[in-house]
Amino acid sequence: MIKKIISFLLFTLLFSNENKYQIDYSILNDDSRPEQERIQDPYRKALEVYSFLGIKEEMVVADIDPGGGYNTHLLSKIVKNNGKVICILNTHGGGKMPYDLRKIIKKRIKNANLSNVKVYRKINEVPKNLIDVVVCIRNYHDNKPPRDEFLSNLLKIVKPGGIVGIVEVATNKLGWDEETHRLNEKVVIDEFESNGFKLLDKSNILKNYNDDYETSGFDVGRYKMDRYLLKFIKSYD
């Protein structure tokens, strides 16, 4: 028990705000990144998010439902060739998508020469205890409740003491707001802490005080709306 407590404290110290890894911001200027993504950078604050989560070189980082590869690309540059990015598609088990996500991300990997990226179709295909940090940006809500199966699979692939970072669009309503496509922060915390994770920290770096909470993410880019950033840790038990 004492050994577990000491390990937990050491890991917490490593990933605390005071010990955030300083990421090289020059990677934002990578010529292989689409111009549209560069326009979004000031709003997404991706590198600040990664720093808060403690992402650094040599880590194995999972990108949940990577979409067009915005985060995948940047994470690949951060962990470098001695690290790895694991793209996990269709974690929510939804129906057929209107476009082939695997084809899109594979094309991005090839064109940008992201040789340290590996793609998995489903989360249960990923080896156990592989991941140092999971990045789940504005898509946790796509896993329709109950989310216990998803969280159980997530717990399996994260190393003991590993980190999960969640970004979702904030709401002042309870639970899930279908009309505005927003998920209450407390729901996320309760679900994670009921499934083997503990809330380690939270950040306001994505806070937007001008958000009226009535606007839908389909009407304006969700990366401009008020978002919360949560940092969970997998216990050593």
- Rounded to the nearest 5 percent, the helix, strand and coil shares of the chain are 35, 20, 40
The string of pLDDT tens digits covering residues 118-128 is 999 999 999 99
In the prediction, which pLDDT does 132 show? 98
Query: Which residues does the chain have with pLDDT short of 70?
Result: 1-21, 91-99, 237
Give the C-alpha separation, 183 to 171, whole Å.
Answer: 6
The string of pLDDT tens digits covering residues 4-37 is 544 444 454 444 444 456 789 999 999 999 999 9
**Residue 135 lies in domain:** 2-234
In the prediction, which pLDDT does 97 show? 54
Task: Give the predicted TM-score (pTM) of the model.
Answer: 0.89
In total, how many domains does the chain have? 1
> Which candidate, 155, 58, 67, places its Cα nearest to that of 46?
67
How does strand 182-183 pair with strand 176-177? antiparallel
> Which candidate, 72, 115, 66, 74, places its Cα nearest to that of 91?
66
In the prediction, which pLDDT does 145 show? 93
> Which candidate, 186, 141, 191, 150, places its Cα nearest to that of 62?
150
In the prediction, which pLDDT does 100 show? 79
In the prediction, which pLDDT does 219 show? 74
CATH number of the CATH domain containing 149: 3.40.50.150
Give the C-alpha separation, 140 to 147, whole Å.
Answer: 9
In the prediction, which pLDDT does 101 show? 81
